[in-house]
Each structure stands twice: as structure tokens, then as C-alpha cells.
Structure 1
Amino acid sequence: MKYMLMIQSDESSPSMQGPSEEDLNAMGRYNEELIKAGVMLAGEGLHPSSEGVRITYSGEDRAITDGPFTESKELVAGFWIIDVPSKEEAIEWAKRVPLPEGQLEVRRVFELEEFDQSNEYVQKEKEWREKTGQSRTA
């Protein structure tokens, strides 16, 4: 099963300003543990919301708002996607993230197999994944 570990922050926290050398080394060691255990599929930090945009959907209308999103109490500052057998193991890995402050959210990622396999677009995605080598399942 795939799980996403999301570092939550707000715009003023140090994690949104970029990691210190010490924090970068701690995250590097953590990533190395994930890689050695064979569970890490992806992991990235995100630039501050001041460099992003939000798109608000209302029917056919789209409204674009430039960052920063200082009114947000919970921004995603970075993430990992890990492939582990259970939610409990995902939580154990999440507890080891070397965050000096903040919160981490753990959420299960939908697997393609969980959707209606007779759906035309599910079939197209399966074909795309096979062609691109992204057909790995848990």
C-alpha cells in the first residue's frame, strides 16, 4: 500500500523558508533509511506558497490567486510517498521524520486497482502505466 507523508506548515515557519544545513542533513539521513528499507517511492520539498498559485473552481469558472497564502494554517511544505504493507508501518516511518517543529499528515494513496476496472479511463491509465514502466503495485 502506498502512503503519502505530508509535512504541514504555515508560511512563517522555518520549513517554508528552506532547510538549514543541519535539517538538510537530518532529512538526508532519513531519506537514506527509507531507500535502504526499499519503501521510498518519492520525496520532495516544496517552495513557499509565495511562488505558487491557487485555482478556485466554481462550475465552469476558474479563479487564479497568486501566493503567498498567509491565511492558510496548513500548507504542505514537502512530502514522501512510501510503499509499506500497513498503515501502522507508515505511521512508524512518519514518527521518525526529523522535523524540529510542525505536523505531518499520513494519508493512503488510491491504487489504480481500487477503481472500476471496466472504466475506459482506468484502462487508458493502466496502458499508460505499462508503457512508461509505472505499473508497480504494492
Structure 2
Amino acid sequence: MMLLKLDPAKAPHNGPSPELMDEMGKLIEEMTRAGVLLDTAGLRPLDEGTRIQLSGGKLTVVDGPFAEAKEVIGGYALIQAKSREEAVEWASRFLAIHGDEWEMESEIRQVEEPA
């Protein structure tokens, strides 16, 4: 799983440009043809989100926007890579197409499979 994280204060306020969307589309198509990409999606803006918090056995529901949000998940890609190195390569390519205007990171974590 590639989690795509960003600081909302350090991302373009109008979101991805049409050119960036085109480049992402090309990479997604390449990953699909290579048999690596299983699923991917971007997430709606933070102000449309809801958090459900558990503390001391009590659940609290909080609607966005979240003032303390320093880092949010902006999207994800579920990939099936042959190795950690291959996963890093795909994540690096995805981040690189965003250029200088974006400040992002990708966290790669293996999905836990049933025993």
C-alpha cells in the first residue's frame, strides 16, 4: 500500500493542474499495463472529511476541516510489487511527477495477509 501524504499548507490551493493530472494518468496507465496497480484514488479535500476518535472508551465524531492537520493522506495506491525496491521505484516516480510545487511523501506498507 502506498499512502500519499502531504501538508495541506504546502500544496497548491487549487489542487493538481490539468498537466499534472495528465502525467498521473499516464503513470497509472503504465502501472496498470505492468500488472502492478491493483487500485488507486485521490481523496476529497480535508474540509469534507470526518474523524472518529476513540479516547478513554468514548467515541467522538469531528467534522473537517481540522485545524491541527499538519499531514494528511491525500490518496493511495494499492500495488503488487515483486520487491521493496520495486515499490520504492513506483512511489518515487509518482512523487517526482508532482515537481517543485508540491511537498509530499509516500509511506509504503505491506498489506497484512491472512495466515
Q: Report the TM-score range of the alignment, normalised by the length of the smaller protein.
A: 0.7 to 0.9
| SS of match in other structure, 1:112 | coil
Aligned residues: CA RMSD: 1.5
Aligned partner of 2:29 in structure 1 is 32
SS at match of 2:109: strand
Deviation, 1:54, is: 0.7
Provide structure 1 residue ranges, at least 5 long, that are not aligned to the other structure: 114-138
Is contact 1:11-1:48 (8 Å) kept? no
TM-score normalised to structure 2 length = 0.85
1 CA distance for matches of 2:44 and 2:15? Answer: 8
For these two proteins, the number of residue pairs brought into alignment is: 109
Mark the CA change 1:44 to 1:17 in structure 2 (over 3 Å): closer, same or farther: farther
Give the structure, 1 or 2, with the largest relative contact order (CA under 8 Å, sep 6 or more): 2
Q: Pick one of 60, 67, 73 that aligns with 1:76.
A: 73
Cα deviations by residue, 1:77-104 (Å, 9 ceiling, x for unpaired): 0110000121111001111112232212
| Alignment partner of 1:105 is 2:110 | no
TM superposition outliers: structure 1 runs of 4+ over 6 Å = none
3-state SS in 1 of match to 2:2 = strand
Task: Give me the identity figure in percent.
Answer: 41
Residues 55 and 10 of structure 1: is their aligned pair in 2 closer, same or farther, counting only changes over 3 Å?
Answer: same
CA distance in 1 between counterparts of 2:23 and 2:67 reads 27
- TM-superposed deviation, 1:17: 4.5
TM-score by length of 1: 0.72
For residues 10 and 69 of structure 1, the distance between their equivalents in structure 2, rounded to whole angstroms, comes to 12
1:66 aligned residue: 63
